[in-house]
Amino acid sequence: MNRSRQLMIDYTPLYAQLEQLPLVGWLLQLPGQVAAALDEGKHGRFPHWSTLLNNLPQITPSQVNLRNGVIVGQPGELPPEQLAELQSQLMQLHPWRKGPFHLFGLHIDTEWRSDWKWERVQAGIEVLDGRLVLDVGCGNGYYGWRMVGAGAKLVIGLDPFLLYVVQFQAIRHFVGQAVPNFVLPLGIEALPENLAAFDTVFSMGVLYHRRAPLTHLQTLLGCLRPGGQLVLETLIVDGAEGDVLVLQDRYAQMRNVYAIPSVPTLLSWLRQVGFVQSSVLDVTPTSINEQRTTEWMPFQSLPDFLDKADASRTVEGYPAPVRAVVVAQRP
């Protein structure tokens, strides 16, 4: 294995845990899948990221609080010059989309107030204490930290976008290697079919990016053990069962958005693929305070994607984003 790749990410603690879990069958394939995903030739920034991670300050924080946020250390634990250097290092990994994070008084003010979404989600799901959790399309792993803070035994996040994996590794450097949260540089396609292993599976902000949404739901079903819970968060539109907004181009300037169902349609899709006991926990319009441009994500965001004359519509003329949280169970 390439030396810089080894220095960048060490998954051996995860592999050791998988040997004791119903995921041991996946372990036969996983190291090869990870090595292929982290092939240095696939991304020109790979050597820079590896160097940046290796140069992060070495410090044992006075606290790691994952229950009330992702809060590491306290102001004053890093000297001002080191804190400024840390900010410069982490800024090189922008855009930071999910968060926020608080490191020794440094506030990483991300595009999304993911803590608001977590409050909406956590309020209605089954307790995570002692659970084996899969987070599909996890981004930089923010929710994984919160899941561990809520008691999860082990969280495995999947996201093939390498920048998000590097952001996760930067936060992990300070949270500590013993915390059972991992982000793999893989998509859900890397999992063996019908693994039937996870107690809880999260899929948040993924379904509308799938050309075949029912196939995605069926894959999620196969990841769960019997009786396990799916937590699904996705865009929805008003309408009756059967109503689906089929996109021809971008939606709120997002590429690769294919279909946005009504809530009754979404529930019917879950039934069709075999889920039971599906219910809606929350329906919330996305506000420009929850998704916006920040210092850590300096590009356009939701305020730029809404019609200036009518904020209830996107710039393309579609209904503005509304997101639902739905739970369902594998029988």
148-173 tens-digit pLDDT: 999 999 999 999 999 999 999 999 99
Per-residue model confidence as pLDDT tens digits over 178-190:
999 999 999 999 9
With bands split at pLDDT 50, 70 and 90, how would you rate the model's confidence at 1?
very low
For 114-138, the DSSP string reads HHHHHHHHHTTSPP-TT-EEEEET-
With bands split at pLDDT 50, 70 and 90, how would you rate the model's confidence at 5?
very low
Q: What is the pLDDT of residue 7?
A: 40
Q: What is the pLDDT of residue 3?
A: 43
With bands split at pLDDT 50, 70 and 90, how would you rate the model's confidence at 6?
very low
Q: What is the pLDDT of residue 294?
A: 98
Q: What is the pLDDT of residue 102?
A: 98
User: What percent of the chain is modeled with pLDDT above 90?
Assistant: 93
Per-residue model confidence as pLDDT tens digits over 257-314:
999 999 999 999 999 999 999 999 999 999 999 999 999 999 999 999 999 999 999 9
Angle (CA) 274-278-284 rounded to 5° is: 135
Q: What is the pLDDT of residue 8?
A: 66
For the chain, the C-alpha Rg in angstroms (whole number) is 20
DSSP, res 104:
T
CA distance 315 to 132: 41
Residue 134 has pLDDT above 60, yes or no: yes
With bands split at pLDDT 50, 70 and 90, how would you rate the model's confidence at 4?
very low
For 179-238, the DSSP string reads SSEEEES--GGGSPTT---EEEEEEES-GGG-SSHHHHHHHHHHHEEEEEEEEEEEE-BS
Please give the average per-residue pLDDT across 93-118, as a whole number. 98
CA distance 323 to 120: 11
CA distance 292 to 198: 33
Candidates 3.40.50.720, 3.40.50.150, 3.40.50.880, 3.30.70.580; correct CATH number of 3-329? 3.40.50.150
Q: Which of 136, 163, 204, 173 is nearest to 296 (CA)?
A: 163
The rounded mean pLDDT for the chain is: 95
Q: What is the pLDDT of residue 256?
A: 95
Q: Is 63 left (phi over 0), alpha (psi -120 to 50) or beta?
A: beta
Per-residue model confidence as pLDDT tens digits over 227-247:
999 999 999 999 999 999 999
Residue 223 has pLDDT above 70, yes or no: yes
Residue 40 has pLDDT above 60, yes or no: yes
